[in-house]
Structure 1
Amino acid sequence: MLFPAGTVALVTGGVKGIGRAVSVDLAHEGAEVIATYRQDEEAAKETVRLIESAGGRVTVVKADASDEESVRELFRWIRQTYGRLDVLVSNAGIVRDRHLITMRTETLREVLDVNLTGTFLSCREAVRLMEHHRSGSIVTISSAAGVYGGQPGQTNYAASKGGIIAFSRTLATEVGRRGIRVNVVAPGFVETDMTHGISPARREHYRSKIGLGRLAQPEEVAYLVSFLASSRGSYITGSVYDVHGGGFVVGDLP
């Protein structure tokens, strides 16, 4: 197993899609997982079932990653319950695609609040807890859209994910001497609820542009996250890892 007994890992947005895959793999590798969710009770229950049926340990907690008091309450509970946090995977995120000329300011703010401010809030509280033990690993989930730019209609999403990269690289320089590592995983197209709504024509277009000729499975992202979070990645910090199968499409839609 990658994680020794007693390792405590928090995954925000950890009950669906990439977040669920990360929660499942961290638990499989020996961590005691805390997975947060905002609304989907059924997804939370299914995540518990998947992990516990495989012999892992997980607690699901309802929390809003974009709400400062909700995040503070979550970390107060972690401090009282576990007294430590070894791993944070800041994964909670949303998509609200709309072309810029018709995008409302509220739509921009909603995406920035969840994706970027949510990352800031979780990382800030995690660092405050981790620094007492002079150790910890943070993995933030960005997107290939944050590295290369997104599809038309994703100015808000790409900005939020690009911001996560700049934020995380800078944070790594702040906290390295406190024994805390910070890395970024930037997936391309992954088979999740978020991508299931894409039209068949667009899916085929995206697939044809990917070097491996297929979309990723969530587990393929999760395996990298677990590695970076573990001691096997002990000399890796401030790095960004693309997981896009050898290609990423910008524009040129059918």
Structure 2
Amino acid sequence: MKTKTKIIIFTVTFFACIIATFFIISKNNKVEALSKYGSRGSEVTQIQTKLKRWGYYKGNIDGIYGTQTLEAVKYFQRKNGLTVDGIAGPATLRAMGIMTSSSNSSSTSNSTNLNLLAKLIYGEARGEPYTGQVAVGAVVLNRVKSSSFPNTVAGVIYQNGAFDVVKDGQINLTPNDTAKKAAQDAINGWDPSYGAIYYFNPSTATNKWIWSRPMTVTIGNHRFCK
């Protein structure tokens, strides 16, 4: 009788472990969920909405990952230095600002810089095209990564002489929603400046040195350079 009881207990425990393992694997797979050709659903809708707003996607926002969405994702990946495979995996979703379980922690740490970056963008680039506003934010973040500049957002923005808006007080203006969105897009990895660490207005700049810098792109009234 005792032997039968032990067998029953062992069998129940064994199958319980199998079921628990299955749920753990399922949970992990959800964390690393991705959208690809043929996928449907709300995540695809988010992808299409983002890419259409940024000019990568021209099709309908229908939640269907078809050929147009595939090519738009590839275009976005190519422009942002990501692996060009047409699959919206964790890295691509993070760059688009679409939060997954695995990216929540980085989003939390970045949120402390969001307001300050939005203030800088609003002071320096309000009235510029949206892409140009994101590019200004990207310049700040590119400086953070560079050994030639302070390694924090605040350090870069408040570096002596770095930005006119700090000197004239416009850094203290309340940013609008557009500036906040641009700051978030820059933090999420979108860099329409193509790695620039400087920018200037060609119609007003008189510094010969800044004119000598290699240009990456011109957006609105700003020329971006390295």
TM interval, short-chain normalised = under 0.3
Q: Answer 1 or 2: which has greater strand percent.
A: 1
After TM superposition, the score normalised by the length of structure 1 is: 0.21
User: TM-score if structure 2 supplies the norm length?
Assistant: 0.23
Q: Which has the higher contact order (CA 8 A, sep 6+)?
A: 1
